[in-house]
Chains A and B, each alone.
Chain A
Amino acid sequence: MIRLVLALLVLPGLASAQPYPDARRIVSVGGPVTELIFALGAGDRVIARDTTSQFPEAVNDLPDVGYMRQLSAEGVLSVNPDLIVTRDTAGPVEVLDQLRAAAIPLVEVHDGFSSEAVIAAMRTVGSALGLRPEGEALARQAEADFAALADDIAAGPQPRVMFVLSNQGGRLNVAGAGTGADGIIALSGGVNVMAEAFQGYKIVSDEAIIAAAPEVIVMMAPTGNAEHDSRREGVMALPAITQTPAGEANALVHVPGAALGFGPRTAQFARDLNTAFTAAVQ
């Protein structure tokens, strides 16, 4: 409820962001931002993207200006952008300041792990690109999707879930509060067992895993990277995991990596994950 009030308070401010309807050389920084621009039908106005922007397929043909937290001011300027749209977690700060100094308009999209953030971003980017009706339509659709999902979640089971980012020789790197994984689990009707324990991703001990007693283990879907995938496969066989309800039931759910960044596909990812949760605990 507080979140909703906050979102309502912030919304008018964001929606009145200066529009750049004539921008035709956009550098898009951050996977969800890029997805959003394409979802608004403005993909043809994007001329460069960052390393985290890999969807839709077409963006992979565009020049890559580097990892979104390690941008290079000159690199970005070298593609001659007339607008930069970026997640507000991009950096370094000095580089963003240098880009502003070069008088390139910079639209920052608030990065949050909630449905409110996703909906606000649709309106922000929509009005920034001069596509306010399109942004509004996307936002309305997302609101409806999230509301329908919330109804279904209330009616179904709400399993205890643990998200495993990686398996480092039998020691698991697990998501706590304030992470994309925590956000998507909450939206999908799961309860993150480590949310109370810590912030961010941390390596947790075997005993902490057993004590947390997750009913479902979530991991990122196989990426085709053989080494990563083979290490992930071993997770369900680890002694600590076999001692949990999830291990006993072999309840492993895969989530696409893109679901950890909150963008226009989040509602769909959350629905899929909710379906997978329900199937895993029944």
Chain B
Amino acid sequence: MVAVAQMDDQPGLTGDRRGRAAALRFGLIALLILMLLLGLGWGAAGDTQVLAALGSKFGLAEASLRDTTIIWDIRMPRVLTAVLVGAALAVSGAVMQGLFRNPLADPGLVGVSAGAGFGAVAAIVLGGFLPVAVLSVVGAYLVPFAAFLGGWASTLILYAIATRGGRTSVATMLLAGIALGALTGALTGFIVYRATDDQLRDLTFWGMGSVAGATWMKLLTAGPVIALGLIAAPVLARALDALALGESVAAHLGIDTQLMKRLAILSVALSVGASVAITGGIGFVGIVVPHVLRLLQGPEHRNLLPNCAILGAIILLAADMISRTVVAPAELPIGIVTATMGGPFFLWILLKNRHILDI
């Protein structure tokens, strides 16, 4: 602890970065508020009386049922879902990169999302076989819970395989992640094969991701789980910073590395699992956001994680706005938008900063 505190006090390097991170956070919060307002005020139904509809809930104004439905039951839950899921994906990406000490770690890339997707698909297709008594208890929580279990199991397995003698092997992790992704993909495929035609077409959406089906019900079910994972992240920040110096150094600094690793895995599994359960797989947020911020403000997790949450939310809000307006009145799945935006952007960042990242 002492050593870390001393490092922070070094003038020039860290002080600058902390100032930059604070300034950046200020700008990001302003941008987030702007995007939230845009997200509520802008959509395919351009003639909606936004302010009147907003006020009508509090008896401040009169609005048609159509407009109140658009604002309160369609745009509000999907905007909040985009914020929560965007934040969860970006923070989970940053936590995994810190945990594995590998810039390529990402819930989507190393199979955590695939595991969560398998859990969700299994719950949708096979959930009907559960006894009615069980179903009536778990009810709407079944799919998010199954997704969480799937995500958690894949993260644990991945970590156990890639870590040997307290050292996490980069190559093993990536390869094991790919193998794990393939395996869960195959298991998902098997269940999908058993699905009826109707279930099949509805399942397609897991592959592409969408916040279009966001409802208050889903948000209230999965939201607290995602929030729990997000709340755990700041607790991890200091430990992740220490871990960057190596596991033995972190242990000497008084950090319970095993406990912290378990907490990190649990937090990632919680937030990614619940996110996948309500939106399906949304790629690239978890890898692009942390890297952009690291380039802008440095790698310290204490500053990185909160900004990741905000920028992740902004990115997903922006992607959702594109997805719901570009082919209006129809809609593009959001996963297509994030991959289309994120892929080339990430490549550009990589090429421009090859010397800094030095992967």
Binding site for B on A (CB under 8 A): 48, 51, 63-67, 69-70, 72-80, 89, 91-92, 94-95, 97-98, 101-104, 178-179, 199-202
> Which residues of the other chain, B, contact A94 by a CB distance below 8 angstroms?
213-215, 218
Q: Which residues of A contact B66 (CB under 8 A)?
A: 77, 102-104
* 13 pairs from A and B in contact (CB 8 Å cutoff): A70-B212, A72-B212, A73-B212, A74-B43, A77-B66, A78-B45, A78-B46, A78-B329, A92-B213, A94-B215, A98-B215, A101-B73, A178-B197
Distance in angstroms between the alpha carbons of A79 and B66 in the assembled complex: 12
* Residue of chain A at shortest CB distance from B72: A101
Nearest residue (CB) in B for A65 is B329
- Choose from B69, B202, B329, B333 the contact partner of A75 (Cβ within 8 Å): B329
Most buried by A among B44, B73, B214, B324: B44
B133 within 8 A of A: no
Assess whether A78 is in contact with B43, with CB atoms less than 8 Å apart. Answer: yes
A residues near B329, Cβ cutoff 8 Å: 48, 63-66, 72, 75-76, 78-79
* Main secondary structure on A side of the interface with B: loop
Is B330's CB under 8 angstroms from A74's CB? no
In Å, the complex CA distance between A27 and B47 comes to 18
- In addition to A70-B333, A74-B70, 15 A-B residue pairs with Cβ atoms within 8 Å of each other are A65-B329, A66-B329, A75-B44, A75-B328, A77-B66, A91-B202, A92-B212, A94-B218, A95-B213, A97-B215, A98-B73, A101-B73, A102-B73, A103-B69, A200-B196
A98→B70 CA distance, assembly (Å): 8
Beta-carbon contact of A72 and B46 below 8 Å: no
Chain B positions near chain A (C-beta within 8 angstroms): 43-47, 65-66, 69-70, 73-75, 193, 196-198, 200-202, 205, 210, 212-215, 218, 324, 327-331, 333
| Chain B residues within an 8 Å CB radius of A78 | 43-46, 328-329
- The residue on A at minimum CB distance from B329 is A75
By a CB distance below 8 angstroms, the chain B residues around A97 are 215
- Residue from A63, A92, A178, A202 within 8 A of B202 (CB atoms): A92
- Distance in Å from the Cβ of A264 to the closest Cβ of chain B? 23
CA distance A103 to B70 in the complex (A): 11
Please give, as numbers and ranges, the residues of chain B lying within 8 Å of A79 by CB-CB distance.
329
Which residues of chain A come closer than 8 Å to B200, judged between CB atoms? Answer: 200
Neighbouring B residues of A64 by C-beta, 8 Å: 329-330
How many A-B residue contacts, CB cutoff 8 Å? 94
Contact, CB under 8 Å: B197 / A74 = no
Chain B residue nearest to A101 (CB atoms) is B69
Minimum CB–CB distance from B216 to chain A (whole Å) comes to: 10
- B198 contacts A72, C-beta separation under 8 Å: no
B330: contacting residue among A65, A80, A103, CB under 8 A: A65
Taking the nearest CB of chain A, how far is it from the CB of B281, in angstroms? 16
Q: Contact: A72 with B197, CB < 8 Å?
A: no
A30–chain B nearest beta-carbon distance, Å: 13
Give the Cβ gap from B119 to chain A, nearest Cβ, in Å. Answer: 20
Given contacts A78-B45, A101-B73, A102-B66, contact A70 B197 (CB under 8 A): no
Q: How far is the CA of A69 from the CA of B208 in the complex (A)?
A: 14
In the complex the two chains form, is B197's CB within 8 Å of A200's CB?
Answer: yes
Does A201 lie within 8 Å of B197, measured CB to CB? yes
Q: Within 8 Å CB of A101, what residues of B? A: 65, 69, 73
B65 with A77: CB separation less than 8 A: no
Nearest-neighbour CB distance to chain B for A104, whole angstroms, equals 7
Q: Which 5 A-B pairs have the closest CB atoms?
A: A66-B330, A75-B329, A102-B69, A78-B45, A72-B331
Expressed in whole angstroms, the minimum distance between the Cβ of B79 and any Cβ of chain A is 12
Which residues in B have their C-beta under 8 angstroms from that of A104? Answer: 66
**Contacting residue for B44 out of A74, A91, A202, CB 8 A:** A74
The residue in chain A whose Cβ has the minimal distance to the Cβ of B65 is A103
Residues of A with C-beta under 8 A to B202: 69, 91-92
Q: Which residues of A contact B73 (CB under 8 A)?
A: 98, 101-102
Contact A67:B213 (CB < 8 A) given known A77-B45, A103-B66:
no
Enumerate chain A residues within 8 angstroms of B205, measured Cβ to Cβ: 70
A201 to B75, CA, bound (A): 36
Q: Could you tell me the distance in whole angstroms from the C-beta of B217 to the nearest C-beta in chain A?
A: 8
* Bound CA span A92–B193, Å: 21
**Min C-beta distance of A129 to chain B, whole Å:** 21
Chain A residues positioned under 8 Å from B43 (CB to CB): 74, 78
Q: How far is the CA of A78 from the CA of B73 in the complex (A)?
A: 15
User: A69 with B201: in contact, given A92-B213, A95-B212, A200-B196 (CB under 8 Å)?
Assistant: yes
A91 to B212, CA, bound (A): 11
Chain A residues contacting B210 (CB-CB under 8 Å) are: 70
